[in-house]
Structure 1
Amino acid sequence: MASTPRLAAGDKAPAFSLSDADGKTVSLSDFTGRKVVVYFYPAASTPGCTKQACDFRDSLAELNDAGLGVVGISPDKPEKLAKFRDAQELTFPLLSDPDRTVLTEWGAFGEKTMYGKTVQGVIRSTFVVDEKGKIEVAQYNVKATGHVAKLRRDLAV
């Protein structure tokens, strides 16, 4: 398995336009002029992904007050994202990337170690994109639990 190229601070964020949980198109360009946290997670309604999404939900007011939007991206279909959003009362967009094109462009899909085995899958990753579309923060292999609190500390939010 080949390794996936990784993004780094200063890189131009790869553009995307994906369907949200309601089938509406959301694009990275929708956030031009403000910062946005773009995070990639393996699967809606799993324990780690639920914890991470709820941490973003619970921190959303502070992140928004600091000028940051939040977008979550997974390979899940919009119908599954809608159930996840509704069950967890999530108030930020969840986007569907079933063919994993955007995940791959952002380096968030590829080789990873899971339970001691090397597999292909979603690499839990978080990025902060600045007002001009450049990567400000690129974090790969983040932990589902405690990650949002660390991101807030790193960003002084």
Structure 2
Amino acid sequence: MNYNNSARYRRMPLRPACGLHEDDPIEPQHKPQKVVPSFPLSVFPSAIRNIVKALVEYEHFNVNFISASMFTTFAAAMGNRWTVRFSATWVERPIMYVALVGYPSCGKTPPLRLALSPLLNLDHEYDREYCAKLKAYKQWGPNLRKSARHCLCRRRWSDRGAGVMWLSTRP
């Protein structure tokens, strides 16, 4: 039998790309595991610490994954509203990037999903509210007089006190 014009083009037999052959035994490599310290739960208030401990005990979450997920959620909830001033020129905000690293199916997603669910639910509510206001504006906005249109807009003050009118997209 000729497959893929094998009679015309002589090729080497197909082998795995990594260089292993079927008759080569595969021996597991035992590397010494480094001891990684656990997430310090002392950074959380006692109420949050109790929630983390309960999730670890009853839901079998990894303490590092749930702690990092909750810490990131708190930072996202604070946003740019809170700052820490270390000196006259050094101001920091609670911006945090986290990467949960682990083997596949080791339980990274459930703690992250649980920790982020309040923010995602709130975002969903804001989206529904925005869509309702946008629909009302598209239906009635162009026909309203300028004095009645202020119901659909909010006044926002900039740093220097100048008022700016803008369509209420999200609070």
TM bracket, shorter-chain basis:
under 0.3
Q: Which has the higher helix share?
A: 2
Q: TM-score, normalised by structure 2?
A: 0.21
Q: Would you tell me which structure has more strand in proportion to its own residues? A: 1
Q: Name which structure has the greater RCO, CA cutoff 8 Å, separation 6+.
A: 1
Which structure has the bigger radius of gyration? 2
